[in-house]
Structure 1
Amino acid sequence: MDREARLRAWEQTAQPYLLAASFLYLASYAVRVLVPGLSPGWQTWWELVTVVTWSVFVLEYLARLALSNDRRRFLRTRWLDLIVTVLPLLRPLRIVDMHDRMLRRRDRPRLALEARVMAYTGLTSLLLGFAASLAVYHDERTAPGANIHTFGDAVWWACSTLTTTGYGDATPVTPRGRVVAVALMFVGVALIGAVVGSFSSWLLRRFRQDGET
Structure 2
Amino acid sequence: MTRVERWERRVEVPILLLALAFLVAYAWPVLDPRLDSTLRSDLSGISWAVWVVFVVDYVIRVSLATGERPSYIKRHWYDLPLIALPMLRPLRVLRVLGFARMVNRSATGGLVERASVYVTGAAVMSVGLGSVAVLDAEQNAPGANITSFGDALWWACSTVTTVGYGDRYPVTTEGRIIAVALMIVGISLLGAITASVATWMVSQVQRAKDNAV
State TM-score, norm by structure 2. Answer: 0.89
Q: Quote the residue 1:66 is aligned against.
A: 63
User: The residue matched to 1:91 in structure 2 has which SS?
Assistant: helix
Checking the alignment, whether the CA contact within 8 Å between 1:92 and 1:128 is kept in structure 2 is no
Q: Structure 2: which amino acid aligns with 1:98? A: M
Deviation at 1:99, TM superposition (A): 4.1
Deviation at 1:191, TM superposition (A): 2.1
Deviation at 1:27, TM superposition (A): 0.9
Gaps of 5+ in 2: 86-91
User: Quick check: 1:15 aligned with 2:19?
Assistant: no
Match for 2:168 among 151, 167, 170? 170
- Equivalent-residue separation in structure 1 for 2:96 and 2:189 (angstroms): 13
User: The residue matched to 2:78 in structure 1 has which SS?
Assistant: helix
CA offsets per residue over residues 55-109 of structure 1, 9 Å max, x none?
A: 11111111111111211111211112222233342234331432443x47xxxxx
Deviation at 1:176, TM superposition (A): 0.5
- Equivalent-residue separation in structure 2 for 1:137 and 1:196 (angstroms): 31
User: The residue matched to 2:2 in structure 1 has which SS?
Assistant: helix
Q: Where do 4+ consecutive residues of structure 1 move more than 4 Å? A: none
User: What's the Cα RMSD here?
Assistant: 1.7
Q: Quote the residue 2:88 is aligned against.
A: none
Q: Structure 2: which amino acid aligns with 1:94? A: G
Match for 2:98 among 89, 94, 99? 94
Q: Quote the residue 2:89 is aligned against.
A: none
Q: Quote the residue 1:107 is aligned against.
A: none
User: Quick check: 1:25 aligned with 2:13?
Assistant: no
Match for 2:122 among 108, 121, 124? 124
- Equivalent-residue separation in structure 1 for 2:136 and 2:167 (angstroms): 18
Gaps of 5+ in 1: 105-109
